[in-house]
Amino acid sequence: MFRLPPLLLLLALFSVYAHADREVIDQLGRKVTIPDRVDRVVVLQHQTLNLLVQLGATDKIVGVLSNWREQLGANYARLAPSLATLPAPGDLAHVDPEALVALHPQAVFVTNYAPLSMIERIQNLGIPVIAISLRSGKAEQLATLNPTLEDEEKAYDEGLKAGIRLIGTVVNRSSQAEELLTAAFSQRKLIAARLHDIPESQRVRVYMANPELTTYGSGKYTGLMMTHAGAVNVAAATVRGYKQVSMEQVIAWNPQVILVQNRYPQVINEIKTQPVWQVIDAVQHQRVWLMPEYAKAWGYPMPEAIGLGELWLAQKLYPTRFQDIDMQQQADRWYRRFYHTHYLNDN
């Protein structure tokens, strides 16, 4: 019987395994078959795009969502300059099949609430589609934008961990994924220990101001960020998910602090200059704060939002309890470690 020489046998086996497929389960519970080594991905979700950059996988990205600058903020390009030159074959809810195929991706990342027709269109091209939610929960809630969650803390903590590990597995960056998760969750015990004795009735009432009077209520990570930092989200009791509210409702809530995300600086000017806002406690006492770049209060958790953003907010709300914390130093350490550049405080 014919036998291959040992060296040729090893080379043949290497060739087989180098091109072998593997199976992963995405965050919609779908089984997806991907190549053993993935070097070309298209990213149609900004959260996943941000995570891939921090995992050191920017070089694997060959296409991005068209509005990534708006979603990630105007300054994000400095963290990953190569993104500015990449093709944009789609966005959160749409894809151009011809433009996508031209990029020869081995996998496409989409958001969990991407239309089923969009996912099927990509699959029909023979390209693996991986949905990312950064959230766990009941099957019927997995694809929703504004979920009803029995345990928000568990859903987002477990979902973020699973999502980052999944992304790391797909792009062969599993060790970097574990490093990122360890950094993200390292501060929570410190914050909790320093704020545990503040009763609910004395915690600061906070409102998240987004464009066009949209805000985050229950079922979104932003409310958890506030809770971990010792605040009360004024919208949580009456708003589920990400929704537009009325000015009358904001006035009735009368928040003591108003937060504005770094990517929406124009909202700060609207609040400070429009007469209708001037009756609110936070405006009267000049407690309208533009959040730093790293806070990323996007409704879905990001590692630096947990590892840095929650600490920043806790210090802003209760400065005497965190006098020993240098946030510039903390942020710079994170940025050098995961973005490979210094943190620039433009606020």
pLDDT tens sequence across 221-270: 999 999 999 999 999 999 999 999 999 999 999 999 999 999 999 999 99
Residue-level pLDDT at 128: 98
Q: How far is CA 74 from CA 53, 262, 263, 264, 346, in A?
A: 16, 9, 7, 9, 12
Q: In CATH terms, are 14-184 and 188-339 the same topology?
A: yes
Closest by CA to 294, choosing from 280, 310, 283, 308, is: 308
How do residues 174-223 score in pLDDT, each as one tens digit? 999 999 999 999 989 999 999 999 999 999 999 999 999 999 999 999 99
Q: What is the CATH number of domain 14-184?
A: 3.40.50.1980
| Domain boundaries defined on the chain | 14-184, 188-339
What's the rounded mean pLDDT across residues 62-72? 96
How far is 126 from 122, CA to CA, in rounded Å? 7
What's the rounded mean pLDDT across residues 79-108? 97
How do residues 137-184 score in pLDDT, each as one tens digit? 888 888 888 888 889 999 999 999 999 999 999 999 999 999 999 999
Residue-level pLDDT at 141: 87
Fold of 188-339: Rossmann fold (3.40.50)
Residue-level pLDDT at 299: 85
Region of 296 please: left (phi>0), alpha (psi -120 to 50) or beta: left
Phi, psi of 148 (to 5 degrees): -100, 115
How do residues 291-327 score in pLDDT, each as one tens digit? 999 999 888 899 999 999 999 999 999 999 999 999 9
Residue-level pLDDT at 142: 86
* 344: pLDDT strictly greater than 90: no
Q: How far is CA 214 from CA 16, 72, 244, 283, 293, in A?
A: 52, 17, 4, 18, 20
* 103: pLDDT strictly greater than 90: yes
Task: Provide the whole-model pTM.
Answer: 0.88
How do residues 25-59 score in pLDDT, each as one tens digit? 999 999 999 999 999 999 999 999 999 999 999 99
* 6: pLDDT strictly greater than 70: no
* 13: pLDDT strictly greater than 90: no
Confidence category of residue 11, pLDDT binned at 50, 70, 90: very low
DSSP reduced 3-state for 156:
helix
How far is 302 from 183, CA to CA, in rounded Å? 11
